[in-house]
A = this chain, B = another copy of it.
Amino acid sequence: MHLTSLLALIPAVAASCFHNTPLARRVTVPSYGYTATQGPLNWYGLDPSTNVACATGTHQSPIVIGSSEISKVNNSTVTLYIPTVSDLEFENLGTTIEVPLTNGTLVVGNNTYTLAQFHFHTPSEHRIDEEHFPMEAHFVFSDEDGSIAVVGFLIDLTSTKDHSTPLLNTIFEDVNEIAEPGSTTELGLLDFSSVSRHFMNNDIYTYSGSLTTPPCTEGVSWYVSGLPLVLDVDTYNQVKKVLRFNSRYTQNVLGQEDLLQLAADELNGVVV
């Protein structure tokens, strides 16, 4: 997940009426990427002062979730609510495809978070018991103190749309229109209720991690659904043609030395 669009919500809403016209808003494409020196192993090198946590953090995301090791939330303490909405923008930021959306709340115990955006990664960033998934959705929230919480859904594949999560079918219906980084399109009616129930009625893994994109800021409260959503393979193929690859490698075990720091220590002959 990333911070970029937490800072740029108002222009997104203001420009939506220019959809598919020569005046269509162009979103800003970040400078980092997922290949060679633009990729995750060099995010620190792209901006050492800002991105230091990307190479030295000990509570970085994503992780491999061991189902018997990572804590689960008491489901009775969690409420995810996102109102039904239409005409939202769907943006290709180059690094992800994202929907700015400020209507929605996540309440966990005494903490109330407000939704900022949701976006997608392919393949999944988190793994559960080593298994990866073809895609992952991140719903990014912040509270009034600026603390960030992310609700993550892994996404598995099925043969037909009949078995897909209906919300995903609607979101990805016109994904071909945002094939180009910087482009936007408009979404149909999005009903989040079944996905909210899916989240609240199944296991929820929780841990304190980080943004999975620069600046890899830590202190992010992760809530990852233990049961994947489902997408049909034809739609997945279309989405993959647009997203191509935007998954950070899994990080060190929580609390242990960052894997890049460890590699540097070893290459410099430091006994670790």
Contact = CB atoms under 8 A, between A and B. Distances in A.
B159 A42 contact: no
B56 A267 contact: yes
Given A36-B250, A36-B256, A245-B132, A41 B157 contact: no
Nearest to A160: B159
A237 B157 contact: yes
Given A157-B233, A236-B157, A237-B157, A263 B44 contact: yes
A266 interface: yes
A264 interface: yes
A82 interface: no
Contacts of A36: 64, 250-253, 256, 259
Contact residues of A: prevailing secondary structure: mixed
Interface stretch (A84-92, A105-113, A122-130): A122-130
B44 A266 contact: yes
A158 interface: yes
Given A35-B127, A41-B263, A131-B240, 6 more contacts: A37-B253, A39-B259, A41-B262, A45-B262, A55-B267, A264-B267
**Ranked 9 nearest A-B pairs via Cβ:** A264-B264, A41-B259, A130-B244, A264-B267, A132-B245, A131-B244, A233-B233, A159-B159, A45-B266
